[in-house]
């Protein structure tokens, strides 16, 4: 009976050791790179939000450059994140355009997740790039859907095939929900009042219409919750959950 248990413990120890080694310098060597860069930059995929436990809509794409800023093919890249975050793939070499692409699945805890992409120089120095993703809980997901339905046409300056932005057509440009410098200074009650009664409720633009007869109190609270979690810089009030390593 002791032998099977010993074998299981040995297997778990080896698996744990292999998992830890995956992110050290030996892990970079195991990738068998054909070139090395001096910097790593984000090409696309950062600052996305999605429901907890789901895969981000767009993959994270990073690029390794040399000292002159030219893309480097065949350079090693590894990804790390807080517990529960999954990358597919978690490591590899940059392609012919100097880029590395990975699909990111968020953990089950709502909050902000710091994603770290790293490469190594020819001298063995690790170079890191920090990106961010936001995992939305139930309330924030409801707020996100309400934003798409009622708010994004004016509060998002980017047009899509499904939604043409009205942002630039207004005499007063609405605040983007990511504008933490401005919206973080407002209380939850103030934001809820503007949503319910329109801009004039707080001497703001009358172009902001009231939604008090359209949205329920819980829906307005969900919308405020969504505004808080996507704020940049982050909203720092007590109660906001930030995912930890």
Residues 55-81 have pLDDT tens digits of 999 999 999 999 999 999 999 999 999
DSSP-derived letter for residue 1 is: -
Residue 139 pLDDT exceeds 80: yes
DSSP-derived letter for residue 150 is: I
Categorize the per-residue pLDDT at 159 as very low, low, confident or very high, splitting at 50, 70 and 90. confident
Indicate the CATH number for domain 34-136: 2.60.40.10
User: Who's near 148: CB < 8 A, 6+ residues apart?
Assistant: 163
The pLDDT of residue 136 is 97
Other C-beta atoms closer than 10 Å to the C-beta of 207 total 15
Q: Is the peptide bond before 233 cis (omega within 30 degrees of 0)?
A: yes
Strands (E), 7-154: 39-44, 48-51, 60-65, 76-80, 86-88, 91-93, 99-105, 111-120, 126-136
Taking residues 180-193, report their average pLDDT.
96
- Which H or E run contains 189? helix 188-197
Are 114 and 81 spatial neighbours (Cβ–Cβ below 8 Å)? Answer: yes
The ranges of the chain annotated as CATH 2.60.40.10 are 34-136
| Superfamily, domain 138-230 | Cytochrome c-like domain (1.10.760.10)
Q: What percentage of residues in the chain have a pLDDT greater than 70?
A: 84
The pLDDT of residue 243 is 53
244 vs 76, residue with greater confidence: 76
The ranges of the chain annotated as CATH 1.10.760.10 are 138-230
When the pLDDT of each residue in the chain is averaged and rounded to a whole number, the result is: 87
Q: How is residue 182 written in tokens? A: 């401005």
Q: How is residue 147 written in tokens? A: 């934003």
Categorize the per-residue pLDDT at 212 as very low, low, confident or very high, splitting at 50, 70 and 90. very high
Residue 215: closest CA among 207, 203, 223 = 223
SS3 10: helix
Categorize the per-residue pLDDT at 31 as very low, low, confident or very high, splitting at 50, 70 and 90. confident
Sheet holding 86-88, edge to edge: 39-44, 60-65, 99-105, 86-88
């Amino acid at each position: 009976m002791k032998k099977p248990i010993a074998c299981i413990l040995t297997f778990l120890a080896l698996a744990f050791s292999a998992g830890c080694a995956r992110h050290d310098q030996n892990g970079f060597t195991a990738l068998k790179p054909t070139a090395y860069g001096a910097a790593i930059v984000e090409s696309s995929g950062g600052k996305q939000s999605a429901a907890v436990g789901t895969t981000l809509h767009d993959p994270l794409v990073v690029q390794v450059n040399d000292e002159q800023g030219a893309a480097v093919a065949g350079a090693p890249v590894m990804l790390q994140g807080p517990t529960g975050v999954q990358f597919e793939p978690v490591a590899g070499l940059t392609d012919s355009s100097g880029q590395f692409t990975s699909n990111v699945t968020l953990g089950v805890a709502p909050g902000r997740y710091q994603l770290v992409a790293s490469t190594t120089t020819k001298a063995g120095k690790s170079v890191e790039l920090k990106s961010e993703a936001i995992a939305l809980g139930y309330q924030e997901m409801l707020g996100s859907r309400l934003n798409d339905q009622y708010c994004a046409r004016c509060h998002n300056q980017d047009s899509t095939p499904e939604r043409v932005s009205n942002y630039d057509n207004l005499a007063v440009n609405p605040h983007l929900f990511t504008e933490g410098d401005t919206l973080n200074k407002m209380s939850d009650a103030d934001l809820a009042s503007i949503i319910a009664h329109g801009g004039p409720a707080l001497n703001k633009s009358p172009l902001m219409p009231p939604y008090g007869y359209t949205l329920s109190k819980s829906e307005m609270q969900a919308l405020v919750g969504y505004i808080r979690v996507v704020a940049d810089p982050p909203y720092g009030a007590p109660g906001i959950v930030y995912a930890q390593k």
